[in-house]
Amino acid sequence: MVRRWVEMKTLKAMVCILMALSVGAMVLLPGIYAQGIPDTDNDGIPDSVDVDIDGDGVPNLEEALYGTDPYDATSFPVIDEMM
């Protein structure tokens, strides 16, 4: 029982290390990692995981809430400030 627990802990640690290396490679080598994967704003982050697909500075979720197009950098919400 103890041996199995140790084996599971070791396996979990190895999986965490592999995940960290994968994310590190994606961040440090985006051009190699994302080759052939859509990247609308050319920031090196694939559209499938980019929180701001069009690069206009407004997160995709916020654009969806305001009804603007997250794939169009010229389409972004305009919020009138109250004075």
pLDDT in tens, 25-52: 566 555 555 567 788 888 888 888 888 9
- Give the pLDDT band of residue 83 (cuts 50, 70, 90): very low
* Residue with tokens 């994606």, as numbered in its chain: 26
φ and ψ at residue 25, rounded to 5 degrees: -65, -40
Range of the domain at 57: 35-76
pTM confidence score: 0.51
18 and 48, same domain (yes or no): no
pLDDT in tens, 69-78: 999 999 888 8
43 Cβ neighbours under 8 A, 6+ residues apart: 30, 50, 55
Domain count, the chain: 2
1 and 22, same domain (yes or no): yes
